[in-house]
Amino acid sequence: MSCEPPHSSAAPAVHGASIVPLAESLSFFIALLQGDEITYVNPAGCALLGRPNGYFVGRRLRELVYDETRETGIARAQPRMVVCGQCLRATERFLHADGRAIWIDCSVDVIELEGRPTNLVTGYDITAKKKAEEELQRSEERFRNLCRQAPVMLMSFDPDGRIRDVSDFWLQTMGYERREVIGTDGWCFIESDSAERLRQAIAQNQLRNEMVIKNFPLRALRRDGSPIDLLATSVAELDDQGASRGAICVQINLTDLQRAEAALRESEERYRALVEHAPEAIMVVDVDLGRFVDANAHAEKLFGLPRERLLTMGPLDFCSESQASGRDSSDLLGEEQRKVLEGETPVFDFTLVDAHGREVHCETRLSRLPAAGRRLIRMTTTDISELKMLQEKVRRADKLAAVGALAAGVAHEIGNPLMALSMAAQSLERRTEEEYTQKKLALIREHSERISRIVRQMSELARPQSARREACDLNRIVRRAVDMVRYDERAKSAAIHYELDPELPCVIAVEDELTQVCINLALNAFDAMASNPPSKERRLTIRSASTPQRVTLSFRDNGHGISAAVRKKLFEPFFTTKEAGRGSGLGLSVSYRILEEHAGALRLDESVTDGAAFVLELPRSAAS
């Protein structure tokens, strides 16, 4: 409650004969008092205080106000007004019927009513305004406390540039006590160059009628004299008439931020360097998204795709539906990821398929990465394809060694008896003219020779290279080899197309051995096309080509092709898809070994779907 004297020293006399009828129709509070006793309250006043008409008559004014204001408000001042003729302006807190406080802005005047001096109280309900003022005051107090206690560098300035207040964090950062700062000219805390630039920025803002200076770099001075780089954003404060009331400035400590950023950048660079130069392909997998969110340079090389493309894909995009073990790729990967999320670090073999469709045998290690709100797994993959190939070569070499030892024993034990049987069959054939006997003796001789060839091929699997190598024309060798088998029963009605490079470089090799390889590949092609229907042409295409490093020769037939299950066993000794009695399963094995000994390779062209194509590769001669 507050009481104020009126603007004039005495209120004008008011004749009250018509007050009551007029007050009945007015919407604001009106009351009449004789002494301190209420004689009348208009309907608007009764409604304002939640009381029925006539409730207030005969009651004292002090009964209507809060206890703590009865000795200081108009309830105390009103009786003296009648005597001295004073007027009074007051803000009084009246008591509503339900116990609420009703704030009324009151004016108390002395009028003459029926020949007696009477107090006329008029007032307006300002409860909502009062609550708004109190809330504003509490809000300002909360804001002031927040500004002081917030972990930011905050400053408030008067219109003349003197510091009105600063946050505790500003004092902590700058090293000052509050008493040393409040009321001080704010310009003395920044270096002269920064001060001059800031003055120019303020002048430009005033010309443009702008209120905000955003992200302005400053160099300030701590209490110990050390410089500190700040990034400041200031906002001008204006009153309702547009006059300056000062400014508020928020500052960011760039010095500490720069140090932290530099340390973080250095740490990230070290980590990135370690990851980028790691000999393994490293990817980070978001389990919930099912895709990579990071990958190193080796991962790009492994998959044959740029990092930007990799980050749109996941591990399941780089594997076939099932692994070599027959396990479903999705199930296997899901199980290993669950182990990681449970705290394990599994290591397992996983076959991936790169962007060119090439299968890559990998050893994969999974580990959990810390990340707030995300399930990230580091996937470290090592290409062990070469290791697998070496293991396969060792396995094949062991098998060939065993076969060689067996072949040597077999050749020794059955070589001479076979020769005796063959010679005896030939002798009997010459001495008899009976057709039936000659056929049977010819059959004995034919199978004896076949057994002899098989034993000889078995011996060749383990026989060390001994013949002299020299420069060879691969085009000439393949033509001679095909001519040698051109009149074989299997080659009849087959069309042979040559697509030979006339500029093909020479290779260093044993010519007879390359001839044997070419014969084996040609006969295999003829056998593959034997089951073609009469309507389908049997065609063998032989093509030679070269690169700066290698010479290639391919034999492509249009036969029934080779299934995926068979391809993995093609070059194993004694493996054959031919009918019983038609193949020993040693031709491709012997050819494979010969090419390996020449630092070359024999492979199946996986891209061919109509028929099959075997590719012979040899290093080109340095003299070429």
Strands (E), 114-193: 116-125, 153-157, 163-166
Cβ neighbors of 486 (< 8 A, separation 6 or more) are 496
Is residue 262 scored above 80 in pLDDT? no
**What is the reported pLDDT for 417?**
76
- The tens digit of pLDDT for each residue in 73-94 reads 565 555 544 444 557 777 888 8
pLDDT confidence band for 414 (50 / 70 / 90): confident
Mean pLDDT of 253-269: 77
pLDDT, mean over the chain: 80
Top-confidence range, 107-116, 179-188, 381-390: 179-188
Mean pLDDT of 105-110: 85
- The tens digit of pLDDT for each residue in 345-362 reads 998 888 888 888 888 888
CA 546 from centre of chain: 44
2-125: CATH topology is Beta-Lactamase (3.30.450)
- The tens digit of pLDDT for each residue in 535-590 reads 888 889 999 999 888 999 999 998 888 877 777 777 776 656 655 445 555 678 77
What the block records as the tokens of 323 is 């692994």
For the chain, where do the domains classified as CATH 3.30.450.20 start and end?
A: 2-125, 143-258, 278-383
Q: Give me the percent of the chain exceeding a pLDDT of 70.
A: 82
Cβ neighbors of 375 (< 8 A, separation 6 or more) are 286, 287, 288, 341
Bridge partner residues of 542 (DSSP): 498, 555
Q: Buried b / exposed e across 108-129, counting CB within 10 Å, b at 16+?
A: bbbbebeeeebbbbbbebbbee
Q: Rounded to the nearest 5°, which phi and psi values hold at 614?
A: -105, 135
pLDDT confidence band for 615 (50 / 70 / 90): very high
CA 327 from centre of chain: 28
**What is the reported pLDDT for 78?**
52
Is residue 407 scored above 80 in pLDDT? no
Helix (H, G, I), strand (E, B) or coil at 453: helix
Domain covering 143-258 assigned CATH 3.40.50.300 in the classification: no
**What is the reported pLDDT for 8?**
37
For the chain, where do the domains classified as CATH 1.10.287 start and end?
A: 389-462
Q: Which of 234-248, 311-325, 465-479, 580-594 has the lowest mean pLDDT?
A: 580-594
Residues 279 and 275: their CA atoms lie apart, in Å, by 9
Mean pLDDT of 36-63: 87
**What is the reported pLDDT for 5?**
40
pLDDT confidence band for 130 (50 / 70 / 90): confident
Mean pLDDT of 232-253: 85
Q: pTM of the prediction?
A: 0.37
Is residue 464 scored above 80 in pLDDT? no
pLDDT confidence band for 396 (50 / 70 / 90): low
Superfamily covering domain 470-619: Histidine kinase-like ATPase, C-terminal domain (3.30.565.10)
Residues 170 and 153: their CA atoms lie apart, in Å, by 4
389-462: CATH topology is Helix Hairpins (1.10.287)
Is residue 14 scored above 50 in pLDDT? no
**What is the reported pLDDT for 1?**
44
- Domain 278-383 CATH (choose: 2.40.50.140, 3.30.450.20, 3.30.565.10, 3.40.50.1460): 3.30.450.20
Residues 324 and 196: their CA atoms lie apart, in Å, by 74
Residues 446 and 118: their CA atoms lie apart, in Å, by 152
Residues 171 and 23: their CA atoms lie apart, in Å, by 61
**What is the reported pLDDT for 382?**
87
Residues 172 and 167: their CA atoms lie apart, in Å, by 9
